Amino acid sequence: MTVAHAGPRLDRLRVSPFHRRVMWLIGLGMFVDGFDIYLAGNVLGILLKTGFSTLAQSAQFVSLTFAGMLVGATATGFLCDRFGRRFSYRFNLALFGAASIAAAFAPTMGVLILIRFLIGVGLGAETVVGYATLTEFAPPAVRGKWVGFMCVCVVAALPVASLVSAFVIPSIGWRSMFVIAGLGAFVVWYVRRTLPESPRWLESAGRTADCERVLRAIEREAAGDDLPPYVPERAPQPARAGSVRLFGPPMLSRLVLGSVSMIVTNTLLYGFVTWIPTFFVREGLTIATSFGFAFVISLGAPVGAAIGSLTADSWGRKPTIIGACLLAIVFGAIYPFVHDAILLPVVGFALVVPIYVLVAVLMGVYVSELFPTEIRMRGAGISNAFGRAATIATPFAVVALFTRYGVGGVIVMMIALLLVEIAVVAVLGVEPRRRALEALASDAAAVPAAVPAHA
């Protein structure tokens, strides 16, 4: 049978309604994932107020959410590389959809905490699968922008979750929030049935006939008879490489790069951004003022994610990452010394924007591009697992630094991590901008694959 050449055939396709359908179907799942993550803060407040939960139980709820996400991020890497992307992105939606519905009927907080762990497994899996799957479909010239847009979908769920909570919880109750999340997951699970399996994965798994069938269907939908030419690559050898490949050159350096990037990104999010209201209250601001300032600052999240999405292709991954780190360092160094009621939220907004540029480019775009198709999900999953593990230790470090040194101590930790990120990206980083995934996989120093101008 003729070799499928999945990579070149996918990369030569013009952006079409097929690509937009794939992007929106994956984006819907990412939005539901973000909604389920962000509803926790609103629900926990009501659980504490009504006595359904204690402060200690609320902490366990949050902790087991992250523990579940760690398990999900790790496990889905192995499942995706073994059974395919399609199996995994439907399975994780079914898991956290069913668990969310079950959470609405939890009789005690202890049961809700255990169910939340299962929800976390599905949430962690969706994050890895969503970004990496779109990476394998998007044409090289727009891959950064399109995959970065997934981060915008996740971040957009924050104001939606807050708005829905404000109307739904007072009138119907907190349980309804889990029902909404669960039903949303099942709706996306149903509409995603039209998403094809990744041809790149099928070819890497040795399923050339299936790959050819899926590729021809994609080509008919995307281009009809107007197919641009492509340059065939050497016939690929089906690979069942074990995870040990990740721990030898050149993949080990990329695994280190991905893991450090996920640790830095998650620590910035859960070691600074989510603590902003607490910092304000502890420094003497009223609760109303604190949440008002926090809302203004949080508007930097979608702005930063959008900037990261738009600049990943035009500027390149490495320049965008390093530039955002430098801006975050500058505004981070200024932030502790600002006490003016007008300047404080402005500087905070300016600090959050580059942080979310990093979230979009690192968490969304860059890490999935670092690994070959046959071990892409495992590499991304392990990197994300390190990031999730960092969130378990982050609260303790934040409390210790803030108690002893104030918000300046937390900022110093953040700046130190940003400097590490700059060094790691500068030394170990590759530049995927407008390069075929196969060129990146073959050699970090490979000559970039030509991208047709129409892409």
Q: Which domain holds residue 181?
A: 6-222
- Does residue 218 sit in the same domain as residue 255? no
- Does residue 181 sit in the same domain as residue 44? yes
In a domain, residue 258? The reply is yes
Binning the chain into helix, strand and coil, the percentages to the nearest 5 are 80, 0, 20
> What's the pLDDT score for residue 283?
61
Q: Which two tokens stand for residue 316?
A: 């390149």
In a domain, residue 232? The reply is no
The residue out of 192, 222, 252 marking a domain boundary is 222
- Does residue 218 sit in the same domain as residue 253? no
In a domain, residue 354? The reply is yes
Cβ-based neighbour number of residue 20 at 10 Å = 11
In a domain, residue 169? The reply is yes
Residue among 294, 302, 251, 295 nearest 275 (CA): 294
> What's the pLDDT score for residue 78?
83
Angstrom CA distances, 83 to 22, 40, 60, 197, 198, stand at 20, 31, 33, 10, 11
User: What total of structural domains would you count in the chain?
Assistant: 2
Here the CATH number for the domain that contains residue 84 is: 1.20.1250.20
- Does residue 136 sit in the same domain as residue 253? no
- Does residue 273 sit in the same domain as residue 190? no
> What's the pLDDT score for residue 377?
86
In a domain, residue 160? The reply is yes
The model's pTM is: 0.80
The residue out of 222, 256, 275 marking a domain boundary is 222
How far is it, in rounded angstroms, from Cα 344 to Cα 138? 40
> What's the pLDDT score for residue 124?
86
- Does residue 215 sit in the same domain as residue 252? no
Tell me, what DSSP letter sits at residue 209? H
Residues shown for the chain: 455
> What's the pLDDT score for residue 278?
60
In a domain, residue 13? The reply is yes
- Does residue 90 sit in the same domain as residue 149? yes
Q: What is the mean pLDDT of each run of 10 residues along the chain (455 residues)?
A: 78 88 90 86 80 82 85 86 84 90 95 94 87 89 88 84 83 92 93 89 88 90 74 55 72 93 90 70 58 74 90 92 96 86 85 93 90 87 88 79 86 94 94 84 46 42
> What's the pLDDT score for residue 437?
83
How far is it, in rounded angstroms, from Cα 22 to Cα 130? 10
- Does residue 301 sit in the same domain as residue 435? yes
Q: Which amino acid is at 194?
A: T
> Distance of alpha carbon 139 from its chain centroid, rounded?
19
- Does residue 192 sit in the same domain as residue 306? no
19's CB contacts (< 8 A; 6+ apart) are 13, 137, 138, 139, 146, 222
- Does residue 65 sit in the same domain as residue 196? yes
- Does residue 211 sit in the same domain as residue 306? no
The residue out of 222, 255, 285 marking a domain boundary is 222
> What's the pLDDT score for residue 447?
38
